[in-house]
């Protein structure tokens, strides 16, 4: 009996040793696997596209509140990313959208003469609050990016300028104003659209007596638009020619100079500046290519156009729902 007992004890000890070393081996494998995964993930994240890092600040002088956009990305500072080029005449298109979605500003920061990575713009007379920032830029390579940020626009966050200077306001800067003379109507629109269904984007401008009003070119186009979801995660900047930037198209089609072509793009046939007639009804229409959105939720749409030298910004709301 003792021999059997001794044998059982011996086997039990060996089994404990096997279990112990097996556990050590498994832990070692898991450790190596975790390290390999971490290295692989870092390499993937390093090569994953990310918009240029930036920071925003607020400064003021005796008459102006100024928004500063500073490009802080290491690749930009090291010269590994090419410079920006103007897109339909502007080095930057900045959308400032209030958290409650009641205000949209379409602004065009100018590059600081002393610091090529610093861009500044005068903030229009809008209410204080929290604002989403979306900045469209086009690179010399022809690619374009949308940079994002958030700013708390309150008096206590606005610092005095270190050196006193004033900025010229871009004549194409715009924001939602009360009691505008004209308005846009979204033609054949719906409050709800199903996921992956085409959404028509056809509009017409009227005066307050509901008479059609002739559109004028606004920043070399018939109009501009912006779409954002209620959470601020999705942002789409649209034009009558689509979402591609004019600067990118010029780079890829060297022989076709959009700037000198006279094309204005109202999204309609024969919409060159030269051929656009004085028919106020015909020329009150603005069309964008239809879009498809595959994320359910609430969305806000702003359409901008110009008439009689006034920039009109009209807001619409719609929902994307599952079938």
Beta bridge partners of 187: none
For residue 300, the surrounding DSSP H or E stretch is strand 297-307
Q: Is the pLDDT of residue 136 over 90?
A: yes
CA distance 90 to 178: 26
Mean pLDDT of 48-58: 83
pLDDT score, position 158? 96
The token pair that represents 164 in the structure block: 């006193």
CB atoms within 10 A of CB 220: 18
Average pLDDT, the chain: 84
Percent of the chain at pLDDT > 90 equals 52
CA distance 129 to 304: 23
CB atoms within 10 A of CB 79: 8
Which of 142, 4, 135 is CA-nearest to residue 71? 135
pLDDT score, position 269? 46
pLDDT score, position 76? 86
| CA R_g for the chain | 28
pLDDT score, position 48? 47
Q: Is the pLDDT of residue 197 over 60?
A: yes
Degrees, nearest 5: CA angle 27-28-31 = 85
Quick one: DSSP state of residue 282? Answer: G
Tens of pLDDT, residues 277-300: 555 566 889 998 899 999 999 999
Tens of pLDDT, residues 10-31: 777 777 777 878 888 888 888 8
CA distance 306 to 273: 14
pLDDT score, position 243? 52
CA distance 299 to 188: 17
CA distance 264 to 217: 6
CB atoms within 10 A of CB 175: 16
Sign of CA dihedral 146, 121, 68, 301: negative
For residue 118, the surrounding DSSP H or E stretch is strand 118-122
CA distance 27 to 216: 70
Q: pTM here? A: 0.76
Q: Phi/psi of residue 88, each to 5°?
A: 35, 55
Q: Phi/psi of residue 249, each to 5°?
A: -65, -40
pLDDT-wise least confident of 78-82, 141-145, 219-223, 243-247 = 243-247
CA distance 25 to 154: 58
Selected residue with higher pLDDT from 100 and 10: 100
pLDDT score, position 252? 43
- E-strand stretches of 154-247: 159-160, 174-175, 182-186, 192-194, 198-207, 224-229, 235-238
């Amino acid at each position: 009996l003792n021999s059997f007992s001794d044998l059982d004890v011996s086997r039990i000890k060996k089994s404990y040793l096997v279990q112990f070393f097996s556990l050590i081996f498994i832990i070692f494998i898991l450790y190596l696997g975790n390290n390999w995964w971490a290295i692989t993930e870092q390499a993937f994240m390093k090569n994953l596209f990310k918009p240029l890092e930036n920071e925003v600040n607020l400064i003021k002088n005796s008459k102006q509140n100024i928004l500063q956009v500073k490009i802080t990305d290491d690749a930009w500072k090291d010269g590994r990313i090419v410079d920006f080029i103007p897109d339909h005449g502007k080095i930057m298109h900045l959308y400032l959208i209030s958290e409650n979605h009641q205000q949209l500003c379409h602004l065009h920061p100018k590059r600081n003469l002393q610091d090529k990575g610093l861009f500044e713009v005068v903030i229009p007379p809008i209410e204080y609050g929290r604002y989403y920032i979306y900045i469209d830029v086009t690179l010399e390579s022809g690619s374009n990016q949308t940079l994002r940020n958030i700013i708390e626009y309150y008096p206590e966050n606005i610092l005095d300028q270190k050196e006193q200077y004033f900025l010229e306001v871009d004549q194409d800067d715009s924001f939602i104003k009360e009691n505008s003379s004209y308005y846009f109507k979204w033609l054949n629109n719906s409050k709800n659209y199903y996921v992956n269904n085409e959404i028509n984007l056809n509009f017409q401008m009227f005066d307050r007596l509901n008479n059609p009003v002739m559109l004028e070119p606004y920043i070399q186009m018939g109009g501009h638009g912006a779409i954002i979801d209620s959470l601020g995660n999705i942002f789409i900047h649209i034009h009558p020619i689509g979402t591609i930037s004019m600067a990118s198209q010029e780079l890829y089609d060297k022989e076709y100079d959009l700037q000198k072509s006279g094309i204005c793009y109202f999204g309609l046939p024969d919409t060159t500046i030269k051929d656009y007639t004085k028919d106020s009804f015909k020329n009150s229409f603005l069309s964008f290519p239809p879009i498809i959105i595959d994320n359910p939720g609430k969305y806000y749409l702003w359409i901008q156009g110009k008439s009689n030298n006034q920039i009109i910004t009209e807001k619409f709301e719609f929902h994307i729902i599952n079938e």
